[in-house]
Chains A and B, each alone.
Chain A
């Protein structure tokens, strides 16, 4: 990598660690005693059914919600994230599912939206354009021109711009919420390449996805959530899709597993429940 971020975290060092996170919404206990660790240069996939608490957890990390209990340690310091801009300042970047790009502005304008580089009182377009190319090169991204409006880009290219934008503030941790949900086969591969590129540059990555194939393709570790709790944790290379699905759906008490075990005539339904 020719261009590097200024303070590159040492790979393997824990960037983010959550312990005992609890979050209630009225009578609903959305998160119960959740823990999560992400190291620099590691891709952690967060999977779980709808309502498992993935999004709530992401919003707690990105400062949208405050946890009721629990500690967040980021880069060795205990922190409280007051809001999305706080998270940004700390070095936690989030790429939301609906990308949030302005179609009428060009790539450079979108990358630096809200954090424009200035030359005295005016916008410093030259520095921003140069920086934009540097960011896109670190991602080995294929964007034909940074001076065309976002509307002229394909879905994968937009996702690239959104991910590149998260890197503008030199973050240590990037969270991607369903980055491949709306993409075709080739574009999905492109985005997975980007995720690997983020790992190579030494960032901690949290990847949220419903797509088991994607998760197994890029993640180092897979954290499964179920009903607001940590259900299981796997190292990707030691895991099969069946184990994952079992953990996500709650292996022993679901229709699929019950039917499968009835057919197989076995009673062993506990496989895969790692912890």
Chain B
């Protein structure tokens, strides 16, 4: 057998040598592979992208200013703070757990920051760090409750939802509302700072070059290892689409104010989290624990540490999101981070395509999901629709997203994609 193996190895790359494998070489093959994946229930981000297009068209037909530069810039800005919270939700959902308290934690962290800055005359940076650390601490306690005592995440985060809402009221005392001063750096960062045109295009070029560079490196390494390299034409097409899409968005948003610092920070967090999930040992282990905890444990993964890092990260993102939201709304009040924030963040993660059942999803689902929800909200606001309708529409969209998740899960299991 060694002779035949060596022959096939030299003639065909090792990963496509099996004759039962459906060949996906060339552009047609790639397209077929994508189609087969979709048919097998591996929908990925497709439903949410289609949803976004439908939403845009519907609102545009009702109210043409929906797609104006100003409206789109507003959508990106308002999406960012809750999007940061949703990013944390994606992490817990990957483990098949839930954190219902992110809203309360975000409000409590923001209130702590505001009180430190306004009443205890600490500097803004100290207040922000304290607020974020409070989030980390809360998440660590959650992790201990889960790993040491075995309390279900649903229960302790429900307790946290109530408890930290109380803590928010306690911290604010009889003040009720703390307004951040106009010259506050946080407030300016969240509301008034935008990338200049030059900086935006440079950033765009860096992103596209980084993509192309990493792909070329991959081609070289895979060739050296005797495996099929990525198709260069596909890489080219993707790079052109990426550059064209981002370039157009940058131009179009630039007509108004352009990319806000707040949104750039959010996207940067999403990209970093995506890379950590896909490219590091930690990320691999998060997916493993979410997929089959017992298998992960037997493979020598420190399961407790994975839970710890994820719960801590989720609450940290919640605290950061709350602080950014405070900057955006210019104040912290008794209603900061109440149910609306909470459920919007969770809904965004699920609508973006992260499975509630664990082990499936991506950091980008936080970005796409929150954009969808914010687009709906902005559109309904533009049409002067009552907030009662907004809640009902959001609820319906969430239900649709979960239904799609459940159906695609069934299709996956019947077509052998788990």
Residue on B nearest A116 in the bound complex, by CB? B281
Residue on A nearest B220 in the bound complex, by CB? A126
Q: How far apart sit A115 and B292, CA to CA, in the bound complex (Å)?
A: 17
B298 at the A interface (CB under 8 A): yes
Question: Which among A127-135, A172-180, A247-255 touches the partner chain?
Answer: A127-135
B256 at the A interface (CB under 8 A): no
Q: How far apart sit A152 and B413, CA to CA, in the bound complex (Å)?
A: 8
Instruction: Provide the A95-116 mask, 1 if CB < 8 A to any CB of B, else 0.
Output: 0100111111100010001111
A140 at the B interface (CB under 8 A): yes
For A146, the chain B residues whose CB sits under 8 A away are 15
Residue on A nearest B18 in the bound complex, by CB? A144
Give residues of chain A (142-166) contacting chain B, Cβ–Cβ below 8 Å: 142-153
- Shortest beta-carbon distance, B153 to chain A, in Å? 19
Give residues of chain B (84-141) contacting chain A, Cβ–Cβ below 8 Å: none
Contact of B15 among A115, A129, A140, A152 (CB under 8 A): A129
Task: Tell me whether A2 and B5 are in contact (CB under 8 A).
Answer: yes
Knowing A114-B301, A122-B280 touch, does A103 contact B2 (C-beta < 8 A)?
no
Q: How far apart sit A149 and B291, CA to CA, in the bound complex (Å)?
A: 11
Task: Tell me whether A100 and B294 are in contact (CB under 8 A).
Answer: yes
A212 at the B interface (CB under 8 A): no
B267 at the A interface (CB under 8 A): no
For A150, the chain B residues whose CB sits under 8 A away are 418
For A256, the chain B residues whose CB sits under 8 A away are none
Task: Tell me whether B298 and A96 are in contact (CB under 8 A).
Answer: yes
B148 at the A interface (CB under 8 A): no
Task: Tell me whether B280 and A121 are in contact (CB under 8 A).
Answer: yes
- Shortest beta-carbon distance, A107 to chain B, in Å? 11
Task: Tell me whether A129 and B225 are in contact (CB under 8 A).
Answer: yes
Interface size on B, residues (CB 8 A): 38
B6 at the A interface (CB under 8 A): yes
A230 at the B interface (CB under 8 A): no
Task: Tell me whether A137 and B5 are in contact (CB under 8 A).
Answer: yes
Instruction: Provide the B1-30 mask, 1 if CB < 8 A to any CB of A, else 0.
Output: 110011000000011001011000000000
Interface centre among B2, B222, B299 (most CB of A within 10 A): B299
Q: How far apart sit A137 and B8, CA to CA, in the bound complex (Å)?
A: 11
A123 at the B interface (CB under 8 A): yes
Residue on B nearest A109 in the bound complex, by CB? B284
For B58, the chain A residues whose CB sits under 8 A away are none
Contact of A130 among B14, B279, B287 (CB under 8 A): B14
A260 at the B interface (CB under 8 A): no
Task: Tell me whether A133 and B15 are in contact (CB under 8 A).
Answer: yes
- Shortest beta-carbon distance, A114 to chain B, in Å? 3
Task: Tell me whether B279 and A143 are in contact (CB under 8 A).
Answer: no
Task: Tell me whether A113 and B296 are in contact (CB under 8 A).
Answer: yes
Contact of B418 among A85, A122, A151 (CB under 8 A): A151
Residue on A nearest B94 in the bound complex, by CB? A104
B360 at the A interface (CB under 8 A): yes
- Shortest beta-carbon distance, A171 to chain B, in Å? 14
Task: Tell me whether A151 and B281 are in contact (CB under 8 A).
Answer: no
Q: How far apart sit A87 and B160, CA to CA, in the bound complex (Å)?
A: 42
B416 at the A interface (CB under 8 A): yes
Task: Tell me whether B291 and A145 are in contact (CB under 8 A).
Answer: no
For A152, the chain B residues whose CB sits under 8 A away are 416-418
A-B contact pairs, 14 of them (CB 8 A): A96-B298, A99-B295, A100-B295, A102-B287, A103-B292, A103-B359, A104-B418, A113-B301, A122-B279, A130-B227, A133-B227, A144-B18, A145-B18, A151-B412
Residues of B whose CB lies within 8 Å of any CB of A are 1-2, 5-6, 14-15, 18, 20-21, 218, 221-222, 225-227, 279-281, 284, 287-288, 290-292, 294-296, 298-301, 359-360, 412-413, 416-418
